[in-house]
Structure 1
């Protein structure tokens, strides 16, 4: 679906600017942003007249309003948008609170990431009961410009996804950093270790984007019984899955407590 409707983003920090960049490429009917400074996002050619400082003025002009301010700032945010579709990508702010903030019964709670600027984000979302079929179509089209998307039906999972996919590269970068530090400890020059690990994760991401699930890749390496198998089995024996789960649970808990 073409973005044949007007869109406004309240908040243009890292995530808001990334979503704005993705949407701008899709050529919506109009795209506005609102922030306290009145500064345009760092997007070439973004029209200065489409940058506002008043969230209500933005809501009045748009069919779809995206809330993208920090959770702490959301406590003081209110707009009067009872006839608008309101989409939030704010961490930790529940559906019921979104209706209070916007006075709209048609609210969607989502999570995305700055990878949206490269159309590489994954953006799951959940809808309130009042959301219409047209609203759902628009939401899918909007998030498809940012990468991939799914509607989910358990609001608690949005907090999980906030931990899992929100902080790109986050946990993936932690794994890469550990590998690079090991190589350096073994005498590899830091710049060489950095280049090798970056290329490894670039190739891995491309290979896992299509084809078998990651679990199948792991099992294939174990079944091959080569050098990688020895390393993967050592990680499993050391409780690697449990450590990752522990980190994700801590981040999910923080998402549920942040607002």
Structure 2
């Protein structure tokens, strides 16, 4: 299969909410998927977020959509997983439903050519991080097709164990999530010291844009960046030393643990 090219494949999308629609946009705009090759199943039989593309077929029947597809993407809320049954579609089934295990996906699909993944609505901009783990029946071609689909959304990696998908559900799934919470705290700090709220908001948005851009480069790593600033012993080093001596790292770990735990129970 040509690297990352979905142009010759039929894709079924089950669920077209924020995440499903974002991934569909990525597949069409960056993965080469032709809209006429996309079949969407929703409870309403409508997909307003995808109305800008002509030729997309929309149905209320997930099994019918999957039956005609080379790959099926499940992007419904995890609470709806219990109502899904795909009746053994011919192609692999990839899920971005939080907390829905490979074992359960096998029952939903009707076969064991299943892939469990996580992504985020940042897929619409090609900025998602999408880890995946393959089920026991997934072939090399299934994994390659899944990688092509997820790579259209941004970066992706195949991870070694299923429990790591729950970890990434907490870390990279809720964009902007924890990053937004940290940005809020910095903005609140500035406002409490007399900075106008709109100025604080603008400054923090630009800070995280520039920081994310720099951190996205191949080198140095985040740890190396922190070490370099501490070694420089400037103004930032003074604050970083306080952070390192505080319980912030442990507090963050507890917060992420709570999110991971919820990821493992959210599907019921």
Among residues 8, 14, 25, which one is paired with 1:21 in the alignment?
25
CA RMSD of aligned residues (A): 1.2
Partner-residue secondary structure (3-state), 1:257: coil
Q: Kindly report which structure 2 residues correspond to 1:16-165, keeping only aligned pairs within 5 A, or say none.
A: 16-25=20-29, 26-29=31-34, 30-43=37-50, 45-47=52-54, 49-165=56-172
| Greater displacement, 2-11 / 43-52 | 43-52
TM-score, normalised to structure 1, is 0.97
Kindly tell me the number of residue pairs found equivalent between the two proteins: 259
Structure 1 unaligned residues grouped into runs of 5+: none
Among residues 198, 210, 220, which one is paired with 2:205 in the alignment?
198
| Residue 52 to residue 82, structure 1, CA distance change in 2 (3 Å) | closer
| Residue 235 to residue 49, structure 1, CA distance change in 2 (3 Å) | closer
| Residue 204 to residue 14, structure 1, CA distance change in 2 (3 Å) | same
1:248 aligns with 256
Contact kept? 1:22, 1:118, Cα under 8 Å: yes
TM-score, normalised to structure 2, is 0.94
**CA deviation after TM superposition for structure 1 residue 82, in Å:** 4.5
Q: Distance in 2 between matches of 1:44 and 1:199?
A: 32
